[in-house]
Structure 1
């Protein structure tokens, strides 16, 4: 877990979403909300399921997580939000400005801490790929036939 930068997080049995995270103090910190990544239901959840993958791309562990939302102005927020902001790639402004924006925009900074024994690890990992059918999206469009400049005639 200490090398994780992407975690697949599932809330209430929903699909696992790939989320940027920062491992810190035995947990994973995830930021979501306006201007950040989408994580439907995570900001209000108390539990989630986290799946981590190894360097080779395969699943290495799935564990239940206790979700704790850090509230701006609290001691936990003041201690951890700047650390998460400092590691946030491609953010506009300084880490302090980013923390202020998260607090002002109502972004959720959640800590996902292991809560119990892993659900799958080592020999108990599924043998299949775990691939799912793509979800419906307005970005999906029908594939058209290739364009041809001329008709090819067959000789008889």
Structure 2
């Protein structure tokens, strides 16, 4: 059996994300740059990937979705730093970004309220059994996440911590 794993050269599991990853809006002063990510060991039958970034500690009552990327070709096993930019410059031809809970397209970095303990930022790569989710433009991210979960063969997670 293969071990499906998600790694980053920029941080280890349960280690602090870097200030460059912090959101650049509200009172955040980062560069809103998504970290480099790599995954290995996807199960047989994987036809595409999806990636999500979720903060379960956000004071919203339901967490906060920072990034939803889907329809990543099955040949892709890494994303370069900055791949989550709103203009998708570094994504190439593979992947579609949904609107995050900031109301923007692409990666929205951590920006927890100042003075609180570190929040968990859970990056999850999903190995999907379909080549595409076949979604129209601007579909709500909850619908994207529903279809991701409906088609997931396996998941791998990597958690970064961040506080201000």
Answer with 1 or 2: which has the greater Rg. Answer: 1
| TM-score computed with the length of structure 1 as normaliser | 0.26
| TM-score computed with the length of structure 2 as normaliser | 0.25
Greater RCO between the two (CA within 8 Å, min separation 6)? 2
